[in-house]
C-alpha cells in the first residue's frame, strides 16, 4: 500500500464529514485532531466541501484530508487542488478510478458486489470502500467477498456505529471503518466541537481495544 493508505489504516476510523458552511472546517479539524482522529473524508455533497478541504488541509498539515462522494473527474481535480490526499466514490465509477490511477491519486471506490471488487482487483487496487455497509450485508457480506479476493481490504461505511465497529475492526480484512457518529450534522450545526472531540477520543479508545 502507498503512504496515504498506510496513514489511513493507522487511523482505523475515518470520520465522514458533511459541512454546510466552510467556517466550521477549522474548529472541526481541530476537534478531530485533538480527539486523536487526524483524518477526514469530506463529502462533496455540499457547496462548502471544496473550501472546507482547503481550510482543513492548510490549517492542519498533519491531518489526512480526503474527498468523499466524488461523482465526476472534475470534482477529483477540484478536491485535489484544494488539498485532498485521497478520493472516495460511493460506487465503482470506472472513469473516476482510471482517471485517479493515471494521475497517481489514491482512490477508494465503492464496491458492494463481487463484480465491482473484481474490477478493482483488475486495476491493482488493494483497498475499496464497502458501501452502504450495513444495508449491503454488513460484515457477513464482506467476509464472503474477502474469501476469493484475498488481496483486497475493505473500508465499510454506512451504518457503522460504536456498537458494531468493534466487530468490523476485529476482522483482518477490514482496512478501516468510515463513520459519522462523532461528526453528526447536528453537532456541527450546534457548534458542539468539544463533544465531537470527546466522541472522537471514545472512537479511538474503541478502535485501540481491538487493534492495540
Give the separation between CA 58 and CA 208, rounded to whole angstroms: 28
Q: How many CA atoms lie within 13 A of 181 on its CB side?
A: 19
Establish whether 129 is a catalytic residue: yes
Q: Which of 41, 50, 85, 153 is catalytic?
A: 41
Question: Which residues are CB-neighbours of 13 under 8 A, at least 6 positions away?
Answer: 37, 165, 176, 177, 178, 179, 203, 204, 206, 207
Q: Which of 50, 85, 129, 153 is catalytic?
A: 129
Contact yes or no for 28/193 (Cβ under 8 A): yes
Catalytic residue IDs = 41, 129
Amino acid at each position: 500500500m502507498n503512504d496515504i493508505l498506510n496513514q489511513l489504516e493507522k487511523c482505523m476510523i475515518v470520520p465522514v464529514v458533511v459541512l454546510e458552511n466552510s467556517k466550521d472546517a477549522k474548529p472541526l479539524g481541530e476537534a478531530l485532531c485533538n480527539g486523536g482522529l487526524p483524518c477526514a473524508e469530506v463529502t462533496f455533497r455540499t457547496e462548502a466541501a471544496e473550501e472546507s478541504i482547503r481550510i482543513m488541509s492548510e490549517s492542519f498539515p498533519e491531518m489526512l484530508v480526503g474527498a468523499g462522494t466524488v461523482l465526476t473527474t472534475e470534482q477529483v481535480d477540484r478536491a485535489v487542488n484544494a488539498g485532498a490526499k485521497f478520493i472516495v466514490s460511493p460506487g465503482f465509477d470506472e472513469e473516476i478510478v482510471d482517471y485517479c490511477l493515471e494521475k497517481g491519486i489514491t482512490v477508494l471506490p465503492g464496491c458492494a458486489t463481487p463484480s465491482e471488487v473484481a474490477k478493482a482487483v483488475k486495476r491493482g487496487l488493494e483497498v475499496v470502500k464497502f458501501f452502504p455497509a450495513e444495508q449491503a450485508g454488513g460484515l457477513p457480506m464482506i467476509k464472503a467477498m474477502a474469501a476469493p479476493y484475498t488481496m483486497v481490504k475493505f473500508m465499510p461505511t454506512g451504518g457503522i456505529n460504536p456498537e458494531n465497529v468493534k466487530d468490523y475492526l476485529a476482522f483482518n480484512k477490514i482496512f478501516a471503518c468510515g463513520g459519522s457518529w462523532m461528526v453528526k450534522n447536528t453537532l456541527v450545526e450546534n457548534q458542539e466541537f468539544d463533544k465531537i472531540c470527546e466522541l472522537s477520543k471514545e472512537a479511538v479508545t474503541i478502535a485501540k481495544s481491538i487493534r492495540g
